Amino acid sequence: MFVSRSGITLAAIAGVLALGAAACGSSSPAAPTVAADVTISMVGDRGNQSYAPNPTTVRVGQTVAWKNNDTTVHDATQDASRFQTGTINAGSTSAPVTMSTAGTFAYHCTIHPGMVGTLIVQ
């Protein structure tokens, strides 16, 4: 069987590229996570004790995340829909939400409407 010099060269280059790509993929750092300024804990369907601390006070411009410390899914949705975390699985934390407007904001879990909290933005 006859193999041309260019065939060997192309095969060698392809092999080196494949190894290089595999090595690069295994050493890439994970995507950075963005920490919130304040994290509110979701502790279960306990009325006004469902989120801790409650009420929570932050400054305008700070970010807030909700961590689900319960065993079932929850969310945090401001009553006038100014913010919504989306569904947060047990053990997970929402993406940070920037509080850009001063005021007192009531929020709840749309899955468990008895779960209520208050966020005070100063």
**Mind listing the domains of the chain with CATH numbers?**
38-121 (2.60.40.420)
pTM for this entry? 0.73
Q: What is the pLDDT of residue 33?
A: 67
As a whole number of angstroms, the distance between CA 111 and CA 84 comes to 12
Q: What is the pLDDT of residue 5?
A: 52
Give pLDDT tens digits along the chain (122 positions): 444 455 444 454 445 444 444 444 444 444 456 799 999 999 999 989 999 999 999 999 999 999 999 999 999 999 999 999 999 999 999 999 999 999 999 999 999 999 999 999 99
| Ordered strands of the 51-52 beta sheet | 51-52, 38-42, 63-68, 97-98
- Please answer whether residues 88 and 94 qualify as being in contact, where contact means their C-beta atoms are separated by less than 8 angstroms: yes
As a whole number of angstroms, the distance between CA 49 and CA 112 comes to 13
Q: What is the pLDDT of residue 26?
A: 44
